[in-house]
Amino acid sequence: MLEELTTKKKVVGLKQTRRAVTEGCAERVYVARDADPALTEPLLQICRSQGIHAVEGHSMKELGRACAIAVGTAAAAVLAK
């Protein structure tokens, strides 16, 4: 599943991911398991309320690598077409 971050259109970072979810542009959201819950929990709540599948379980480093950035990221979203 993480491969779709390398091949599909995406946004990276908490702010951009939250914006994509609230605007209805996100198809799937990835949230890092080792990110600060105080930052990620509000995003997960928005995902639940919007009915968007949120994938947890990858590290910040893994998400960053999948998004082709040099640093880790707490969240990323695959955008709907």
Convert the pLDDT of each residue in 31-78 to its tens digit: 999 999 999 999 999 999 999 999 999 999 999 999 999 999 999 999
Q: What pLDDT is attached to residue 4?
A: 92
Cα Rg for the chain, rounded, in angstroms?
11
Whole-model pTM: value is: 0.94
Q: What are the Cα distances from residue 52, in Å, to 9, 18, 67?
A: 16, 12, 20
Q: What pLDDT is attached to residue 2?
A: 86
Convert the pLDDT of each residue in 7-23 to its tens digit: 999 999 999 999 999 99
How many Å apart are CA 43 and CA 4, to the nearest integer?
A: 20
Q: Helix, strand or coil for residue 73? A: coil
Q: What pLDDT is attached to residue 33?
A: 97
Q: What pLDDT is attached to residue 1?
A: 79
How many Å apart are CA 49 and CA 53, to the nearest integer?
A: 10
Nearest to 44 by CA among 34, 57, 32, 54: 54
